[in-house]
Amino acid sequence: EACASAVSTSQSSNGCSSLKTCCWNFELRRWKHTYYTLAFDDERDENGDDALDAMLYFGCSESLNDSDCGGDVYYIQKNEDETVNV
């Protein structure tokens, strides 16, 4: 797991500069047959910022679906009974 960050400067309408810090977190996992995780939450979205999850599959035939090659991903919302399958 690693974090990369960048600082960008923007000019406001009154001529003042403001700094905005951006941070990207990424994680690399290697999954094999019989590997699994039950629930994973690293709570990086504490500030209410938007998040993007991207799943990349390497070495999988196009004829296989995600369940054959990587399992299923479910999102669970806090204080909600329903899950979202992606």
What pLDDT, in 10s, does the model give residues 47-86?
555 666 666 666 666 666 656 666 667 777 777 777 776 5
Predicted local distance difference test score (pLDDT) of residue 80: 73
- Domain positions in the chain: 2-85
CA distances from 49 to 29, 42, 45 (A): 24, 14, 6
Q: pLDDT class for 42, splitting at 50, 70, 90?
A: low
Q: If phi over 0 gives left and psi between -120 and 50 gives alpha, with beta otherwise, what is residue 48?
A: left
